[in-house]
Structure 1
Amino acid sequence: MGPIWPSYYASCRCLLFMMDAANPTQLSASCVQLLGLLSAEALAEASVLILFNKIDLPCYMTVEEMKSLMRLPDIIASARQSVSTVEISARRGTGLAAVLRWLQDTHRADG
């Protein structure tokens, strides 16, 4: 799906980027995709929310582990966008209220 993403950037004000917290082998590939999105000129003004999904599984990595492995503090410090994170379980609905609050707050701030 990544190759077609740029065709959707023009009117994007918010970006939700989901990462699989239960699949450490995908972490580096996800990080590369995220860096590509953050460097896209058309997304320079978009607010970004990184969703660490599958926290309901016993084998999930904590946000601290993921942030450390992908050097997320460095990525956030160099990003032009506002970047936030939240842990979720899409299956159980955990954290989804925080996602909706973020969307609402971001939309209100852009208004």
Structure 2
Amino acid sequence: MGPIWPSYYGNCRALLFVLDASDPTQLSASCAHLLALLSAEQLAEASVLILFNKTDLPCYMSVEEMKSLMRLPDIVACAKQNITTMEISAREGTGLAGVLHWLQDTHRASS
């Protein structure tokens, strides 16, 4: 993450965090970024949606593999935020309706 990102955290009620399920080499860096976001005081009240993208590619890791490698259950247990996960394919549009429903529900709950 660039050093400018924290200046955008104010009034943030929802955070979408996209992981590339087809690139396991970036998983540890992505996990570090996620932990930095979750520890930011301005994002303590934000709901978090972790999106496992590119699940349409034949070389993608399963979501269960990614969750295990990231130790996501431990992260969720320790986080202040409400964290949800979804599988998507932005290219094919798979799962995007669920993302929109999540955003609507999150907006309603925080209003």
- Report the TM-score range of the alignment, normalised by the length of the smaller protein: over 0.9
Pair 1:110 & 2:110 matched: yes
Aligned counterpart, 2:99: 99
Pairwise CA distance, 1:2 = 2.8
Name the residue aligned to 1:79.
79
CA–CA distance in structure 1, aligned partners of residues 102 and 80 of structure 2: 18
Partner amino acid, structure 1, of 2:27:
L
Which residue identity lines up with residue 44 of structure 2 in the other structure?
A
Q: Which residue does 2:89 correspond to in 1?
A: 89
Following superposition of structure 1 onto structure 2, how do residues 1-111 of structure 1 map, counting pairs within 5 Å?
1-111=1-111
CA distance in 1, matches of 2:28, 2:2: 15
String of CA shifts for 1:20-54, please: whole Å, max 9, x gaps. 00000000000000000000000000000000000
Whole-Å separation in 2 of the counterparts to 1:10 and 1:74: 26
Q: How far did 1:4 drift? A: 1.4
Q: Name structure 2 gaps, 5 residues minimum.
A: none
Paired positions, count: 111
1:3 shift after superposition: 1.7
TM-score (norm 2): 0.98
Q: Which runs of 5+ in 1 are unaligned?
A: none
1-structure distance, mates of 2:39, 2:2: 14
CA distance in 2, matches of 1:3, 1:50: 21
Q: Distance in 1 between matches of 2:61 and 2:83?
A: 20
Q: Secondary structure at the match of 2:68?
A: helix
Query: Cα RMSD over matched residues?
Result: 0.7
For the residues of structure 1 that align with 2:4 and 2:15, how far apart are their CA atoms?
A: 15
